Amino acid sequence: MDDDNSNALRRMSTRTRKVAPKMAAALGSSDNRSQAALARLEALENDNAGIEAVEMNDDDEASLDEDDQEIGFIQSLMDIEAHTHRYTSIEISFLQSLIDIEAHTRRYTSSGIPFSTRFMILSTYMQKRSKGTKRKTRQAKALENARKAPRSFLELLHEANLESLPPHVPSYLRAAVGPPSSTSRRHFCSVCGFSAKYTCVTCGMRFCSCRCQNIHNDTRCMKFVA
C-alpha cells in the first residue's frame, strides 16, 4: 500500500495486474489486520449492511474500464466466495470497504481524477448498470454526481480542516475520548463469544477451543485478505 508497491504494479502486464496486485497487496502488507479491524468498525456505522453487495454482482463486465474491472474482479471474487463459503454479509461489507481503501490509496498513485469523484462514479455506475441507462462520459458523470450525491460525514470532516485550529479550541476531533489508560484487552471468541485464549495464525481472529477453531476455519477465516 505504499510507493514501491505501486511501482511494482507498473511493470506488470495488464493481465496479471487484474489479479495479482490485490492479492500481493493483501498478502504482503503488514497492517492488513489492523485495516480489517478498522473496516469492521466502519461497518458498524452502516445502515444497510448486505444490500449493495447483492445488487452489484451483476454481469456485463465487458464494458467496464480498467479500474472498474479490477474492482469488478474483487466483486466477482466476493460473489464466488460468498457462495462457496457461508460468508455472512458483514464480511462482504468488509471486503467492500477493502475495495474502498484500495481506491483510497490509488488516489495518490494513479490517475488525475480525485478519489471521491472516482468512487462516486464507480458506485453510481454499479447502481445504474442494472437499469441499463445510456452511458455518459466520465466528466459529465463526475459533475452530475458531485452535485447530487450527499457526501459522507468523514469527507465533510476532512473538508472542514479542523486540524488547522489552534490546540486550545475545542472541536470535534479534540472531543474524542482518546485511547484507554490500560492497554489490556479482553478477547472473546469470534465463534461462540466466550473468552478466547487462542489466535488464528492466518487471520488473527480469536477462538476458544478446537471446536470453534474448526468452525472458524470453515467459515470466516479470511485467508486472502490477511
Least separation in angstroms between CB 118 and other proteins: 20
**118 or 220: whose CB is closer to other proteins?**
220
Give me 150's grid cell.
450527499
**19 or 41: whose CB is closer to other proteins?**
41
Rule CB under 8 A: is residue 84 a binding residue for other proteins? no
- Region binding other proteins by CB under 8 A among candidate stretches 59-67, 86-94, 109-117, 132-140: 86-94
Could you say which of 18, 40, 107, 128 contacts other proteins (CB under 8 A)?
A: 40
In a 10 Å sphere around its CB, with 0-12 CB exposed, 13-18 middle and 19+ buried, how is residue 119 labelled? buried
In a 10 Å sphere around its CB, with 0-12 CB exposed, 13-18 middle and 19+ buried, how is residue 154 labelled? exposed
CB 1 within 8 A of CB 28: no
107: Cβ–Cβ under 8 A, 6 or more apart, which residues?
114, 115, 118
Consecutive H or E run containing 199: strand 198-199
**84 or 181: whose CB is closer to other proteins?**
181
Rule CB under 8 A: is residue 31 a binding residue for other proteins? no
**28 or 193: whose CB is closer to other proteins?**
193
Could you say which of 88, 117, 123, 124 contacts other proteins (CB under 8 A)?
A: 88
Rule CB under 8 A: is residue 123 a binding residue for other proteins? no
Give me 158's grid cell.
476532512
CB 200 within 8 A of CB 220: no
CB 115 within 8 A of CB 142: no
Rule CB under 8 A: is residue 127 a binding residue for other proteins? no
Window 139-158: residues binding other proteins (CB under 8 A): 150-154, 156-157
Rule CB under 8 A: is residue 77 a binding residue for other proteins? no
Quickly tell me which residue has 454479509 as its cell.
89
Rule CB under 8 A: is residue 108 a binding residue for other proteins? no
Q: How many residues bind other proteins (CB under 8 A)?
A: 47
- 193 - beta bridge partners? none
Q: What's the rounded Cα separation, in Å, for the pair 129 and 224?
A: 28
Q: For binding to other proteins (CB under 8 A), which residues are involved?
A: 37, 40-41, 43-51, 88-90, 150-154, 156-157, 159-160, 162, 170-172, 175-181, 185-188, 190-195, 219-220
